[in-house]
Amino acid sequence: MRDTSPFAAPRDAVWTPGEAERERSRLLTAMRRWGYGTLEELHRASVEDPEWFWRAAVEDLGIDFARPFEKVRDDSDGKPFPRWFTGGVLNAAEVCSHRHARGDLAQKTAVIYEGDGGQRRTLTFAQLDSAVRRFAAHLTGLGVARGDRVVLFLPVVPEATVAFLACAMIGAVSVPAFTGYGAEALATRLRDSEAVLLVTADGTTRRGKRVPLKRTADEALADAPSVRRVVVVRHLADGVDMREGRDVYWDELEPDPAPVQTVATDPNDPLTIVYTSGTTGAPKGIVHSHAGLAVKAASDFGYGFDVHGDDVIAWISDMGWLVGPLLIMGGLQLGATVVFTEGVPNHPTPKRLWEIVERNGVTVQGVAPTAIRAVMAAGDTAFGDLGTLRAFVSTGEAWDEPTWHWLFETVGEGRRPIINYSGGTEVGGGLLDSHPFLPMAPASFTGPLPGIDLAVLDEDGKPVVGEIGELAVLNTFPGMTHAFWQDRERYLETYWDRWDGVWVHGDLASVDADGVWRIHGRSDDTIKVSGRRVGPAEIEASLLKDRRIVEAAVIGVPDPQRGQRVVAFAVTAGPDVDEADLAAAAVRNVGRSFAPTLHVVATLPKTKNGKIMRRAIRARHLGAPTGDLSSLDPQTPLDDIPVLEGEN
């Protein structure tokens, strides 16, 4: 254990939990039952004695192994390749749908779908499980066997959850693909995973505009010879081309197929492959196992978000990003209702998030800072009845304090915590969060999640306090990827090669003497001016203190005197902004050492799930190759980013 506590006792706390939050807490309740007086003591035990902690957590969270495991962790293949819960049997379909359908939750709503155009569909746990068993039988009838890969190119309609769990039930490996991908990006994932079957839809909508998924799929399939069959969900009722002998509509499958048994999967058998993109190289296939993702998701949702069976969790999501599988594996496993929200937060109206809360009795609303900035910019403060809402969960990027305060004070009325949550696809969820039973400082984290030993390391690999450094994981835990799909060496090079036995996560972070943690952006986006390192998120947060700026993106570009200089791109609240005055205010807010060259632009390029594409902005500005743009939202093109002339 390091000298400073890993948990926050912030002097600038703005959220102070009451007795209700503390009494409700799953983690505090478990801590007391296990005999620990403080969270620091429990956390120390969770990282020093993983054999005890993960056994205790599995029992406390009600994670049912069909056959009990013998050992929590087996490191015989080396630290980067642990095997978890060896000797046991666990299938994700059993813990997420089967057991609930035959128990007291059978008639409870499990899944709600909120469509981009106002559609709404629901499934109870009994209906969900019946559909899972039926589609598992269909998959078997279509020739899918244990270990085969099935790509899910689907919007977040209920069939997506059904297909994910049906694959798990028969031991097939799901490969969720983002519905915003073009044909080549989809084909890359089909080829790399050597998928035998594709599940897609005729189309989807985004901001009310039709997106022809089947047409994109057909283009991709022309370059994916391993795919033998295609199942098409009739979502928009659009007529699409169907290839005879290969394609079949979901609703035209046999209504009563011969039932199949749930496969007794080893805890380490692959459950899903979630691909992540970078600016160079092929996408990385992140492999998650049945027990690894089940235990990690249950721990994050139960101990991190304090989810109980009476919760309703809503999130704007896509199955191609980890949030989609996490809603299934975390929310459904704990018996909560999950609301899959398709599209963007401000369409068809800026009130969309709050209308979904009111309509569905949402208790936990997932958000992202970019999404909240878009809602805040609309200026509408008529939020409706948010009486059921107890907390927000935020992930995806770093907060700026003005936006955080607006959500906490204006929407949350100062009584709903913002559970800040940061991790990644590669670790199956979170590393840090803001425990809702602890005081919270704005735009920060209260500490690491249970079982995770975190540190901030300097350039020599030494732990530092009060400085920005690399976020590193010093141990291993369930949910960390079992390597990249068919590429163990690249996995080692990416996370384990810098310092012996240390996972380098790729985020810049800091922890202060009070135990308050902050994320400062991706470390490969680091800007170094005259030898001083800074993350873009820190400068962006300073720029956003100017209310005339509604969005900002910061990059570093080469500078012959200082190594790098800062360039900022800003979207303003209106067209009549004095750019010279705006630039002067930026210098005051940021400070002269990192004062940016400021460009006012109409839009910032973002991924289709709302993340600003800083590396693409930098490449465009420098006139360099932009890399993989398959996730670029066509509504936010790169065209507005000026190209720097003569300094490439």
Q: Domain-by-domain residue ranges, the chain?
A: 19-90+269-521, 100-252, 526-640
Closest CA to 479 of 300, 241, 281, 607: 300
Which DSSP string corresponds to 408-461? IIIISTT-S-EEEEEEEGGGTEEEEE--TTS-B-TT-B-EEPTT--EEEE-TTS
pLDDT in tens, 218-272: 999 999 999 999 999 999 988 899 999 999 999 999 999 999 999 999 999 999 9
pLDDT in tens, 324-343: 999 999 999 999 999 999 98
Q: Class of the 526-640 domain?
A: alpha beta
526-640 has the same fold as 100-252: no
Q: Is the pLDDT of residue 158 over 60?
A: yes
Cα distances from 97 to residues 124, 160, 307, 617, in angstroms, run 10, 14, 17, 43
Query: Which of 13-17, 568-572, 641-645 shows the lowest per-residue confidence on average (mean pLDDT)?
Result: 641-645
Q: What is the DSSP letter of 574?
A: S
CA distance linking residue 163 with residue 183, whole number of Å? 21
Cα distances from 587 to residues 551, 567, 574, 575, 584, in angstroms, run 17, 12, 20, 21, 5
Name the pTM for this structure: 0.88
Contact 61, 296 (CB under 8 A): no
pLDDT in tens, 174-205: 999 999 888 888 999 999 999 999 999 999 99
Mean pLDDT of 80-94: 98
Contact 302, 26 (CB under 8 A): yes
Which of 3.40.50.980, 3.30.2310.20, 3.90.420.10, 2.40.160.40 would CATH assign to domain 100-252?
Answer: 3.40.50.980
Contact 324, 340 (CB under 8 A): yes
**pLDDT band at residue 609 under the 50/70/90 scheme:** low
What dotted CATH number matches 19-90+269-521?
3.40.50.12780
CA distance linking residue 330 with residue 326, whole number of Å? 5
**pLDDT band at residue 277 under the 50/70/90 scheme:** low
